[in-house]
Amino acid sequence: ADLALLLGLTPAADWSVWPVKFAEYLGSGIPLIAEQEVGTDLTREIDKWGIGCVVDRNSPASYENAINIITNQGVYASNCIKYARKRMDLNKTAKQYFRLYKQVLADD
């Protein structure tokens, strides 16, 4: 695939629904096109890391522009892989959760 679509993002569905799909796309170097929804962390990450484009769901031209940008600029695939390695590495994530759980248990 040249790109992936993440449609219907909402703050409630954000990290609870999308993480596996998000990680698989990025780890494979597949840039994302996501619909802009106020308050979603995923769209902020997409913009911040240059791993795709955020579009206005009510603007077909926005989708067309995003597709043209992603397919004409090869930097997106390498950004996706870099992001996945830095932010979604299983060993790093497991260690972060372990530290968090220890902290929560220590606070009791």
Question: Are 56 and 36 spatial neighbours (Cβ–Cβ below 8 Å)?
Answer: yes
| Mean pLDDT in order along the chain per 10 residues (108 residues) | 80 63 90 80 88 93 95 90 87 79 83
Question: Are 6 and 35 spatial neighbours (Cβ–Cβ below 8 Å)?
Answer: yes
Q: Tokens at residue 12, please?
A: 């409630």
Please tell me the predicted confidence (pLDDT) of residue 26: 92
